[in-house]
């Protein structure tokens, strides 16, 4: 006797149309999405996604037609120096070695006292048709200048890694708020049936400075959390347990379905029980689909070489594999990917991430070589495959760095008051630069933007109004953008 996969009752329960008939009038998701009674005065503008507890990741329509269906955020952990990469400040060449004008005698920043101004540590050259000045730190990315949309006037709320990284990933400088990807999958569900809606790809060396908080669900239901894995570290508990054969797994699964179906018959109409049954079906599909998507052997030699998958440097090949994994996930309809370069501090400052306090040039030589080729290959590959038509790519870091060297060191301190991020892909202007820092790159002075603005823009491109995408928590209709944020309309194509 072979037990049925899911009883007719269970099937009917999880049928979307039935669900909408039963719960389609605003009370949907009572069990899942909201604690609120129906009669509570909702803010007139709040729009909560209607979420079917049986299929919480079913695709959902955005607030308005979206330019981007998918989001890829590439983040360099530790605070990349804008002055040595994307923000060309010729004045720093002239002022090299001179004290910071107007600064008090002891110019105190995050770590303490600073020394004198220091010129950009990498050579800047005009790139592309636009002649955009970009440095040799990321030569291949620089070649794409005509495709990128730079925001040179970004500001962060904190000058400390943890809070600033939290803000870039979750909008808040505190732990425990939902990440960008969690908001996106809460709003939009997923296009991928057999894969997580939201994948975080940490560096092979470890998690970024914000830790798993960067892809957490915060107070959103756990189903919207990012699933963390990379090309080296598979999803926890995805593989069958040691010592259990696939035959055993299947037999246990069949018996489980049999028992659960019998149990469900006693609770006709119970969405939560039916949802648990179907979650095992998705889990079983993921056991096939995730190894498949992670299998890079299927890529051509040319593609592998382009990303640097077989580079002798294990750190570079690790990042290259993660970049290739990101493309494969996007191709299969994963809604949001947060891809990280750089890990938490484990030894010397700046050794495993972009926190160049002490020996910035020496460390950035290493990091730049690891990051540039795979990341440029990823963006280029996405474009050639047409994926950038409906995928938004955002490159970010938690803050920039100071135009000075720190006292007694050959590196720059944290600078949250002006730094660079860039976007490319769906709905974004190409070869465009927005905002500016002052002549020394110390503070944003023109078209000052905030991380709230960046997030508002990302949501906008995903077809979401950042002021209307809310979730009630502890007395507040929470948003990714708190009570701030304006879409940076100038950057939209």
Partner 1 sequence: MSSRTSSRKVSPGSARTEDRFAGGILTGIVRLVPVVFSVSLAAAAPVDFLRDVRPIFEKHCYECHGGQKQKSGLRFDVKAAALKGGDSGEPCIVPGAAAKSFLIRLVASVDEDERMPSKGPPLSPGEIATLTTWINEGAVWPDGVDTTTLIAKTDWWSLKPLHLPRVSALKPAPRIDEFVAAKRAEKGLAASPRADRRTLIRRLFLVVHGLPPTLLDVEAFVADKDPRAYEKLVDRVLASPRYGEKMAQHWLDVIGWGETHGFEINTPRHTAWPFRDYVIEAFNSDRPYARFILEQLAGDSVAEDRATGFLMAKPALLPGQIGKDQESKDRARQDELNDMVTTTGAAFMGMTLQCARCHDHKFDPVTQADYYSLQAIFAGVRNGERLLHPDNRLSDPQAYQQWSQEQVAATLAVIRHEPVAGSGGLRSEVNGVRNIDRFAPVRTQKVRFSVKEVFKAPATDTRAFLDEFEVYSPAGRNVAREIKGVRLTASPTARAQNLTDGRYGARQGWSTNGKPGWVEIDFGSPQEIEAVVWSRDRSGRLKNQVSIDYQVEVEGADRTWRVVAGSETRATATSAGEKSPAEGSDDTGARAATERLHRNDAKLAAMLDAEMVYAGKFEKPGAIRRLARGDVNLPKEEVPPGAPREIGPPLVLPAASSDPERRAALARWIAQPENPLTGRVLVNRLWQWVFGAGLVATPSDFGHQGAQPTQPELLDWLAQEFSGHGGSVKHVMRLLLLSGTFQQSSHPNADGMALDAGNRLLWRFAPRRVDAEDVRDGMLQLAGTLDLRMGGPGFSVFEPNDSYVRIYKPKESYGAEEWRRMIYMTRIRVAKDSTFGAFDCPDFTQDQAARTRSTTALQALNLFNSPFVMEQAGHLAARVQREAPGPVATQVHHLFRLALHRPPSPQEAAVCTKLALDHGLPAVCRMIFNTNELLFVP
Site for partner 1 in 173-202 (CB under 8 A): 174-177, 196
User: From the CB of 349, what's the least distance to partner 1, in Å?
Assistant: 6
Q: Which of 248, 291, 310, 314 binds partner 1 (CB under 8 A)?
A: 248
Nearer to partner 1, 9 or 303 (CB): 9
Q: What is the residue-wise DSSP string for 128-155? A: TTTTEEEETTSHHHHHTGGG-EEEEEEE
| Angstrom distance (rounded) from CA 19 to CA 12 | 9
Q: Does 477 bind partner 1 (CB under 8 A)?
A: yes
Distances in Å between the alpha carbon of 430 and those of 71, 85, 128, 455, 486? 17, 19, 12, 19, 20
Subset of 281-300 contacting partner 1 (CB under 8 A): 282-283, 286-287
Interface with partner 1 (CB under 8 A), residue total 111
User: From the CB of 454, what's the least distance to partner 1, in Å?
Assistant: 16
Nearer to partner 1, 260 or 294 (CB): 260
- Nearest residue to 441 via CA among 130, 119, 161, 138: 119
Cα dihedral sign for 430, 436, 437, 439? positive
Subset of 303-342 contacting partner 1 (CB under 8 A): none
Nearer to partner 1, 218 or 425 (CB): 218
Site map 25..64 versus partner 1, x via CB under 8 A:
--x--xxx--xxx-xxxxxxx-------x--x--------
Distances in Å between the alpha carbon of 447 and those of 154, 409, 418, 453? 9, 32, 11, 11
From the list 82-90, 280-288, 299-307, 365-373, the region that binds partner 1 by CB under 8 A is: 280-288
User: From the CB of 244, what's the least distance to partner 1, in Å?
Assistant: 7
User: From the CB of 324, what's the least distance to partner 1, in Å?
Assistant: 24
| Angstrom distance (rounded) from CA 52 to CA 185 | 13
User: From the CB of 18, what's the least distance to partner 1, in Å?
Assistant: 13
- Nearest residue to 470 via CA among 15, 45, 39, 17: 45
- Asked whether the beta carbons of 62 and 69 are under 8 A apart, the reply is no
Q: Which of 102, 241, 312, 386 binds partner 1 (CB under 8 A)?
A: 241
- Asked whether the beta carbons of 412 and 357 are under 8 A apart, the reply is yes
β-pairing, 404-406 with 391-397?
A: unpaired
User: From the CB of 134, what's the least distance to partner 1, in Å?
Assistant: 30
Site map 141..170 versus partner 1, x via CB under 8 A:
-----------------xxxxxx-xx----
Q: Which of 49, 206, 418, 425 binds partner 1 (CB under 8 A)?
A: 206
User: From the CB of 430, what's the least distance to partner 1, in Å?
Assistant: 30
Nearer to partner 1, 235 or 366 (CB): 235
Strand partners, 410: 359
User: From the CB of 187, what's the least distance to partner 1, in Å?
Assistant: 16
> Which tokens is 251 given?
């037999």
Q: Which of 262, 288, 313, 365 binds partner 1 (CB under 8 A)?
A: 262
Distances in Å between the alpha carbon of 183 and those of 71, 118, 223, 275, 438? 12, 40, 11, 21, 34
Nearer to partner 1, 64 or 236 (CB): 236
Which residues fall within 8 angstroms of residue 44, CB to CB, at 6 or more apart?
Answer: none
Subset of 10-29 contacting partner 1 (CB under 8 A): 22-23, 27
Q: Which of 268, 295, 313, 314 binds partner 1 (CB under 8 A)?
A: 268
- Nearest residue to 480 via CA among 470, 492, 490, 491: 470
- Asked whether the beta carbons of 340 and 77 are under 8 A apart, the reply is yes
Site map 356..395 versus partner 1, x via CB under 8 A:
-xx-------------------------------------
Query: What is the helix (H) or strand (E) element at residue 17, kind and residue range?
Result: helix 16-23
From the list 87-95, 276-284, 300-308, 360-368, the region that binds partner 1 by CB under 8 A is: 276-284
Q: Does 8 bind partner 1 (CB under 8 A)?
A: no
| Angstrom distance (rounded) from CA 367 to CA 433 | 25
Length of the chain: 493
Q: Which of 276, 310, 313, 365 binds partner 1 (CB under 8 A)?
A: 276
User: From the CB of 118, what's the least distance to partner 1, in Å?
Assistant: 18
Subset of 88-117 contacting partner 1 (CB under 8 A): 108-112
Nearer to partner 1, 225 or 363 (CB): 225
- Asked whether the beta carbons of 168 and 187 are under 8 A apart, the reply is no
Nearer to partner 1, 163 or 427 (CB): 163
Q: Does 86 bind partner 1 (CB under 8 A)?
A: no
Nearer to partner 1, 126 or 176 (CB): 176
Subset of 438-467 contacting partner 1 (CB under 8 A): 467
| Angstrom distance (rounded) from CA 426 to CA 428 | 6
Subset of 413-432 contacting partner 1 (CB under 8 A): 414
Q: What is the residue-wise DSSP string for 156-188? A: -S-SSHHHHHHHHHHSSSSTT---HHHHHHHHH
- Asked whether the beta carbons of 161 and 28 are under 8 A apart, the reply is no
User: From the CB of 48, what's the least distance to partner 1, in Å?
Assistant: 14
Q: What is the residue-wise DSSP string for 39-52? A: TS---TT-B-----
């Amino acid at each position: 006797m072979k037990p049925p996969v899911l009883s007719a009752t269970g099937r009917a329960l999880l049928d979307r149309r039935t669900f909408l008939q039963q719960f389609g009038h605003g009370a949907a998701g009572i069990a899942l999405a909201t604690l609120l009674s129906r009669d509570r005065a909702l803010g007139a503008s709040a729009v909560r996604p209607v979420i079917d507890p049986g299929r919480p990741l079913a695709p959902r329509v955005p607030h308005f037609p979206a330019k981007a269906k998918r989001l890829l955020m590439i983040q360099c952990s530790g605070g990349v120096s804008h002055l040595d990469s994307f923000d060309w400040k010729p004045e720093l060449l002239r002022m090299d070695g001179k004290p910071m004008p107007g600064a008090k005698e002891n110019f105190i920043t995050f770590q303490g006292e600073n020394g004198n101004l220091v010129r950009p540590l990498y050579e800047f050259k005009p790139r592309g048709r636009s002649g955009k000045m970009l440095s040799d730190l990321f030569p291949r990315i620089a070649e794409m200048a005509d495709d990128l949309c730079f925001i040179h006037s970004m500001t962060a709320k904190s000058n400390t890694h943890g809070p600033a990284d939290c803000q870039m990933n979750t909008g808040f400088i505190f732990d425990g708020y939902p990440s960008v990807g969690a908001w996106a999958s809460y709003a939009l569900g997923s296009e991928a049936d057999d894969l997580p809606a939201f994948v975080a790809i940490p560096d092979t060396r470890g998690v970024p400075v914000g830790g798993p908080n960067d892809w957490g669900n915060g107070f959103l239901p756990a189903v919207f959390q990012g699933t963390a894995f990379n090309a080296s570290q598979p999803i926890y508990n995805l593989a069958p347990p040691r010592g259990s054969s696939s035959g055993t797994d299947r037999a246990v699964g069949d018996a489980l379905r049999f028992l659960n179906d019998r149990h469900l018959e006693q609770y006709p109409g119970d969405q939560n029980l039916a949802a648990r049954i179907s979650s095992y079906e998705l889990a079983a599909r993921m056991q096939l689909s995730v190894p498949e998507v992670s299998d890079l052997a299927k890529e051509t030699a040319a593609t592998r070489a382009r990303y640097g998958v077989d580079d002798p440097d294990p750190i570079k090949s690790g990042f290259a594999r993660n970049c290739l994994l990101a493309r494969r996930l996007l191709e299969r309809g994963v809604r949001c990917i947060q891809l990280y370069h750089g890990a938490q501090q484990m030894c010397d400052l700046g050794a495993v991430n972009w926190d160049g306090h002490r020996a910035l040039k020496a460390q950035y030589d290493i990091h730049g070589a690891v990051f540039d080729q795979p990341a440029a290959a990823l963006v280029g590959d996405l474009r050639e495959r047409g994926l950038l038509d409906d995928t938004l790519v955002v490159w970010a870091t938690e803050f920039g760095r100071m135009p000075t060297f720190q006292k007694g060191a050959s590196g720059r301190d944290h600078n949250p008051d002006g730094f660079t991020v860039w976007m490319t892909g769906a709905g974004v202007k190409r070869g465009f630069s927005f905002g500016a820092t002052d002549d020394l790159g110390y503070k944003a002075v023109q078209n000052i933007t905030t991380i709230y603005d960046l997030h508002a823009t990302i949501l906008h491109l995903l077809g979401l109004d950042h002021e209307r995408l809310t979730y009630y928590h502890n007395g507040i209709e929470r948003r990714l953008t708190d009570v701030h944020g304006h879409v940076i309309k100038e950057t939209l194509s």
